[in-house]
Amino acid sequence: MAPILDIKGLYKNYGQVEILKDINVAIDPGDFLVLVGPSGCGKSTLLNCIAGLEPITGGSLHIDGRDMTNVSPKDRDIAMVFQSYALYPTMTVARNITFGMKVRGVDAATQDRKLREVAQQLQIEQLLSRRPGQLSGGQRQRVAMGRALVRDPKLFLFDEPLSNLDAKLRVEMRTEIKELHQRLNASMVYVTHDQIEAMTLATKIVVMKGGVIQQIGTPSEIYNTPANLFVADFMGNPAMNLIPAKASQTGGETRIEIARKDGAPIVLTDARTRDLPADVIIGVRPEDIAEPGFRASQTAQHAECTVDIVEPAGADTFVVMQMGGKQVTARLHAETTARPGQVQQLAFDLGKVSYFAPDTGQRLN
């Protein structure tokens, strides 16, 4: 299958400043690609480059096999939803949605038919004669989606489309976008700084930082085998515990020793990993530290820890401890008996453990 979007060696400079460095991404038709990263990482710039709104400094960009490197946005067969929605303030909702078709000279009957279809799909039929100023945030968002949908493009681009909505609406719209993607089987590129949005929506995630791609993978790859410390820390909430530790080879096993301020170090053994350097950073997701008997797997190993803080969060209770000079969070069940200041028996599951080199931050296993 030919990639619908293929970016090779893309560079983007503003004057002397490199904004994007050697970007290589390809997605297949039907993929939902999410570009995620902290603000200023270049994700929005990359989206604008894909749209043709920013010229690129180097490299090439193909959409559905056509070289689009120097093609203007209108000829790229794309549609875009913006963070501020960018609805044309003086036009009605209907005209907002049909403006693109009107510009392209689509006949009135087709315009009207497509408008009805999209309006029905998004349940905005009753809003068609209103102006953007008379709509709520969620309604504006729908209209912006409608403007993109009506075009039936090769590629949908979304620039943080949910960030201006309140929390509840954001979750609703997230589900709706996912549903839309499944129904249309369309190819989408979606920019967000919200890692939960990235995990829930994507079929493929690109994690970016400082204009450089950190990792490309499926949500589960990104979550379970982060390529470096940055990705490990950025994806997941609460964040992955990244604990400095000492590693040593004993027979067929690797022995991991985590220092503690008070008392003996925690010693864990990992039979599946070999040849680690002496200094490592061990990455453990909070859910991989549990009470013995809960979610415990074959590889779980027990240790006693002094709990500092207990944070009930409804479905789960998080407890925070000191280990290897870091705060370590564990996700316990809601009715845990853990109390601040008390010693708690915990099970460490090393089945999905990550190891990173402290100096380079790169993944070791």
- Residues forming contacts to another protein in the complex (CB under 8 A) are 9, 11, 48, 51-53, 56-60, 69-70, 72-74, 78-80, 82-84, 86-91, 99-100, 103-104, 147, 151, 157
User: Token digits for 238?
Assistant: 């609460």
Q: Give the nearest distance from C-beta 339 to another protein in angstroms.
A: 44
Q: Give the residue among 353, 328, 346 at the shortest CA–CA distance from 269.
A: 353
Q: Quote the least distance from Cβ 180 to another protein, whole Å.
A: 18
3-state helix, strand, coil in the chain (%, to 5): 25, 35, 35
DSSP code at position 19 = E
Nearest-angstrom CA–CA distance, 325 and 154 = 50
Please give the backbone phi and psi of residue 84, each rounded to the nearest 5 degrees, phi first: -90, 10
- The residue among 56 and 63 lying less far from another protein, judged by its C-beta, is 56
Pairing mode, strands 188-192 and 32-36? parallel
Specify the long-range contacts of residues 183-186, CB closer than 8 Å, at least 24 apart: 184/149, 185/29, 185/30, 186/30, 186/156
- Which CB sits closer to another protein, 65 or 292? 65
Choice between 78 and 303, CB closer to another protein: 78
As measured in angstroms, the least distance from the Cβ of 155 to another protein is 11
Residue 353: CA count within 13 A, CB half-sphere? 25
**Would you tell me how many other CB atoms lie within 10 Å of the CB of residue 61?**
23
At its nearest, how many Å lie between another protein and the CB of residue 98?
A: 10
- In the complex, least distance from residue 158 CB atom to another protein, rounded to whole angstroms: 12
Q: Which is nearer to another protein, 83 or 121 (CB)?
A: 83
Cis peptide before 238 (omega within 30 of 0): yes
Query: Looking at beta carbons only, is 39 or 298 nearer to another protein?
Result: 39
Asked whether the CA dihedral 193, 198, 200, 201 is positive or negative, the reply is positive
- Report the residue number, 84 or 126, with the smaller CB distance to another protein: 84
Instruction: Count CB neighbours of 81 within 10 A.
Output: 24
For residue 52, the minimal CB distance to another protein (Å) is 8
Residue 272 CB, nearest distance to another protein (Å)? 42
Of the two residues 51 and 242, which places its CB atom closer to another protein in the complex?
Answer: 51
